[in-house]
A and B are shown apart, each in its own frame.
Chain A
Amino acid sequence: MTLGLVFLTALMALIVGWLFRQTIHVRPWRAQFAAAPTSLAVGYPAKKAGLWVFLAVASSLFVLFVSAYAMRLGFADWSPIPRPRLLMLNTAMLVCASLAMAWSVRAVRRRDDGMLRHGLVAAGVLTVGFLVGQLVVWKQLNDSAYVVTSSAAAAFFYLFTAVHGLHVAGGLVAWARAVSRTWREPGTEAAGLCVELCATYWHYLLGVWAVLYALIVSEDLGLAICSSTPL
């Protein structure tokens, strides 16, 4: 749990520190109209703020899963599962999907509709490819008798990939909305924002996957976290 503790303490310190900075040099009892609009809040879209808050929540979720994994890893009965090689291809697809999203955001900035459409379609196809690839990995493991109950390592593998996959699938819903916006009302600010938010989410999920993948393929990494977990 040390990992979860460190992460959440850091996050809380960040939030509390930010709020404290906002409030330290203030004498609220003095009446005066605050006329000075400044950088951060003004014009910052609520949807963007909402996404960042959601990412904080999702991070909390993943960090706690990883904490649980690290804690369970230290137990005597741990027996690792084989590392499916297909995961490399899946990871490559997710990386490409993320790049395609970044490409789409560039297209939005350049107001290049053709490029945007290509980018979005590529991102969608690659992401669906990733999900299908993950299902194939499940089937491979299942066929070689590594089912969810066969070991804790297998159970965590299925759990990690399922939770991450569900987040990716949820992202595809947002992606579908971005696509429909882009086709119906190309070039509008709202459509651009949709694409931008999708891209942020895709990069985030790639980052999460990178961590989960590293943990799955390297017991040493898990043990390194685990060894600092004497609770």
Chain B
Amino acid sequence: MSSFVAHDETGFAPPAETGEVELYHPKTFIGKYIWSQDAKVIAVQYAITAMGIGLVALVFSWLMRLQLGFPGRFSFIDPTNYLQLVSMHGMIMVVYLLTALFLGGFGNYLIPLMVGARDMVFPYANMLSYWFYLAAVVLLVIGLFVPGGPSGAGWTMYPPQAIMEGTPGARWGIILLLISLIVFVIGFTMGGLNYVVTVLQARTRGMTLMRMPLTVWGIFMATILALLAFPALFVSAIMMLLDQTLGTSFFMPALVSRGQQTNYTGGNPLLFQHLFWFFGHPEVYIVALPAFGIVSDLISTHARKNIFGYRMMVWALLAIGGLSFVVWAHHMFVSGMNPYFGFFFATTTLIIAVPTAIKVYNWVLTLWRGNIRLTVPMLFAIAFVFTFVNGGLTGLFLGNVVVDMPLSDTMFVVAHFHMVMGIAPVLVVFGAIYHWYPKVTGRMLDDTLGKLHFWVTFIGTYAIFYPMHYLGFMGVPRRYYAIGGTNFIPDSVHLLNAWISIAAFVVGAVQIVFFYNLVSSYFRGKPSGGNPWGATTLEWQTEHTPPRHGNFGKELPAVYRWAYDYGVPGVAVDYIPQNVPPKEVPAGAWDRAAQPAGVVP
């Protein structure tokens, strides 16, 4: 066993006398907070923009639920704008909220701090990344108000219907959406280059790859996926834009519309589906991997126990990332493709269950006999594990071709993907905000409001999405404006739909409590100190809270250990920060009575 070392073989340890990085120094208010090149400010800009547009999508889901729960009662929702609400809700939540918040928000804030860097390696490109993102959001919002309204083709935008007359927003709506996506991808690429290169090149002394917190691993791997997968969205968006504006026939087959032969000839709509899902499936993991990483750190910190199977966690992330590129066609089982390919993609899909199951076991085993403190971040983290398992299991259903056939395009699919990539990552977003808010603002979020927010959100989302599985089994189709008068649908479906809608309104409303908490705690919250949770990672060891420009004091921290030294035997404290050298660790037995867990020594 002597071949094992405590550091990586290509351990990154630049000499101590490395010159100070030349930082950009803002002089004006605008330079500091608007055109900022500081990753922390950019992170907050990303987060606020993403949550702002996310609120719009939340309201859209309310309107959808008004129609589904109480069909025909609200005259302002007609079939056209119902489809537009569905499409925009999906697109905003997946791309503009979750991707931007996890990578642009948490990535920007946490990567430099956690790896011990002063900032991202290309701050200017980082700033541009945010402004491109903002431009993409603005284009999307403009798309809501153009003649014909936004696209109603679903978030998947399948041609030919997405650009044919008869689909809502088939002219300006879809054009603006496609341009917005193109701008988003360009902006993301600039940010993504930063995240990857910062992790590879800007780690501080002693911060080897295998000492990085799992949060950084998750965001790093997700960024690699995004950098390689977003080009597929870019390619399909450009080609569809040309089909729509110039009349090329990349995706558009020769077809007759309203009795008239169109000018399109022989394009291939399936080509779009392949390209779209080549992006679309990795996108699931682009959202999930940062969540996996963050939740690992939350569980370890709040259970005062080292993460179980750190190396397995890292390798599981790598395996999931690698596999996520060879499963995309499981979204296309009903597209008429070769059955042997269905078999291939079903197999790869089910194989992904192995590394994800490893992660779930490791989270549970980290909790096992841990010194669990049910703080709000911990509640959200545990809720994530439940929800992810739930959503993952229905994924096993849908990953099988024969089971997928009858369930395809039913509410079962809606319930599945909301559980696994809607609710689960959002629970992590909340947990992470409750966890890192004290570092960002220097104040704690209100605990009582946090618990209220948690319980209503957690129970409420189950009230929404559990019954939805049954609707799917009964064959209730998704994306339908109304299902009344259909023989195979019993009355109980309508009752259930009303119930789901009411639960959705309650869950939506409780988010207002969360936003109120965010704002009021910023002014009146309890001061948090530098390290309120007793966490080991570098962002909690900064000289100032919130960290100032340049993150750390005069000298960058040197790292001596991994991020999970909680409850180390023979040590008189219950955690050892990453930058504490071995000789400064107090020996002896930890006295729980004298010094409770997590108390900063």
User: Could you tell me which A residues sit within 8 Å of B by CB distance?
Assistant: 1, 4-5, 8-9, 11-13, 15-16, 19-20, 22-23, 25-42, 44, 46-47, 49-50, 53-54, 56-57, 60-61, 64-65, 68, 71-72, 75-78, 148-149, 152, 155, 159, 163, 230-231
B490 within 8 A of A: no
Interface contact tally, CB-CB below 8 A? 207
B235 within 8 A of A: yes
- The CB with the most chain B CB atoms within 10 A, among A22, A39, A47, is that of A22
Those of B181-221 within 8 Å (CB) of chain A: 189, 192-193, 196-197, 200-203, 206, 208-211
What residues of A have a CB within 8 angstroms of the CB of B363 in the complex? none
A28 touching B250, Cβ below 8 Å: no
A56 to B193, CA, bound (A): 10
What residues of B have a CB within 8 angstroms of the CB of A42 in the complex? 12-14
Minimum CB–CB distance from B560 to chain A (whole Å) comes to 5
B6 touching A31, Cβ below 8 Å: yes
A60 touching B315, Cβ below 8 Å: no
Residue ID in chain B nearest A163 by CB atoms: B238
A64 touching B278, Cβ below 8 Å: yes
Minimum CB–CB distance from B265 to chain A (whole Å) comes to 6
Contact with A along B265-302 (1 / 0, CB 8 A): 11110010011001000000000000000000000000
B582 within 8 A of A: yes
User: Could you tell me which B residues sit within 8 Å of A by CB distance?
Assistant: 3-15, 121-122, 189, 192-193, 196-197, 200-203, 206, 208-211, 224, 227-229, 231-232, 234-235, 238-239, 242, 246-250, 254, 263, 265-268, 271, 274-275, 278, 306, 310-311, 314-315, 318-319, 321-322, 325-326, 329, 337-338, 341, 558, 560-562, 564-565, 576, 581-582, 585
Minimum CB–CB distance from B256 to chain A (whole Å) comes to 16
A215 to B248, CA, bound (A): 20
B228 touching A60, Cβ below 8 Å: yes
B6 touching A26, Cβ below 8 Å: yes
Q: Given A56-B228, A61-B231, are A148 and B5 neighbors across the interface (CB < 8 Å)?
A: no
B197 touching A50, Cβ below 8 Å: yes
Residue ID in chain A nearest B318 by CB atoms: A16
Residue ID in chain A nearest B560 by CB atoms: A33
What residues of A have a CB within 8 angstroms of the CB of B234 in the complex? 61
Minimum CB–CB distance from B399 to chain A (whole Å) comes to 18
A57 to B228, CA, bound (A): 6
A23 to B315, CA, bound (A): 9
A159 touching B239, Cβ below 8 Å: yes
A148 touching B242, Cβ below 8 Å: yes
Name the one of B6, B229, B311 contacting A34, with C-beta atoms under 8 angstroms.
B6
A71 touching B268, Cβ below 8 Å: yes
Minimum CB–CB distance from B2 to chain A (whole Å) comes to 10
B197 touching A46, Cβ below 8 Å: yes
Minimum CB–CB distance from A2 to chain B (whole Å) comes to 10
